Structure 1
Amino acid sequence: MSVYESTSMWKEVDSYFSQVLIAEDDALITARESARLHHLPPHEVAANQGAFLGLLTRAVGARRVLEIGTLAGYSTIWLARAVGDNGHVTTLEVEPQYAAIAQENLRRAGVSQVVDLRVGPALNSLATLVRKGVEPFDLVFIDADKPNNPGYLEAALALTRRGSLIIGDNVVRDGEVADAASQDDRVQGVRTFLAMLGSDPRLDATALQTVGSKGWDGFAIAVVRTP
């Protein structure tokens, strides 16, 4: 196996990047470890990916962020710290148990005051936000169940403005995304999501593959051209 195919090498490099570049404090470490302690699925972003989300948030000056998929709140903490004390993060989680764990992690990290954690099916929560006509979000991070990604994107477009960023995680799926005949509804959800990004005239989009502690995956990122 070449170094380019070695998952152990990918993890080693991620670990090195995190040690050299990422300042994970006790609150972030505890949030990450709490997912293992409570047997949550290991779906949270890696430390360097969390830092990347924070940097993107700060780079575009985002003050209002929407996160679809909270889990234990690890990425939520990165986003909340990036928007600052005058910012706001709305995060959506379907599982009450996960939401309770996340709420405690957010409290420990000192960001509860800028986070609105909504529990229930994300499509329902998103429909409520659209119906209420909330202020547009500057950045949307989609990291939940992949079959519903197309619906999440439609809602994101209704909840953003010109210049907003929309980020979709886990779009490579160990390369399965290239298989049009895949019987995996997660793969087909991602494929539909990507097709929508590429064909919608309101968006400029691209996608990048990544390797690391989370395996072979990647993310899509789009800028809203017109609301």
Structure 2
Amino acid sequence: MCSIIAAVSLCQGHNISGKDLRVHCSLNINTETGRLSARRPNLQNQPALEKDRYKIRQAFIAAPKNSLIVADYGQLELRILAHLADCKSMLEAFEAGGDFHSRTAMNMYPHIREALEKKEVLLEWHPQPGEDKPPVPLLKDAFASERRKAKMLNFSIAYEKTPVGHGKIYLKAAKNYLEKKTNETYAEFLCLLQNRRKKHRHTTTVNKTVFQVILPFTTAAITS
């Protein structure tokens, strides 16, 4: 709610930029992760579909004679992690073209697994010629909220969050998943993290991305 108020307040009156009466934000391209961030207002941080009670998303409308194009990388960070760690289970899942977040949701929530076993939903669907929709709903549509929590968990594992750190995902589900699945699913990745942590505790060597972009460590980062 606070983020919505902050975004809307910046859009009132004289803060609407330009003669086109459209809201413009500032984009920051110099981020540590390489991802864009936005501010004044943060137009990237919109409410999730099931939480958009004020219909904020409906305010995004293309200018006359223009179209909005939605493009997104498919689980980009996890794919890079799978490559760096040479994680067999992750690589196999991505090469199969599956939905990694839906698979995690299936392992986190018994009621989702039950729905899959009863064939009430599909984990994934690969349409054949002449097919325009799946015979039953996809997991990502029927259980969008649970899948979103699974997605949060997948990405935050990369930052070594504990079950307490996953509190917003639901502590019990996060704890069970971390205990039962992390070691077997992310074994190679966890090994990569441990090796890098040991390395940087005893050296001030800078870290580099896959594309050899230098990421210098602060003193706090090295000693933590």
Task: Flag the structure with higher strand content.
Answer: 1
Which protein is bigger by CA-based radius of gyration? Answer: 2
Please confirm whether the aligned pair reaches a TM-score higher than 0.5, indicating the same fold. Answer: no
TM-score, normalised relative to structure 1: 0.27
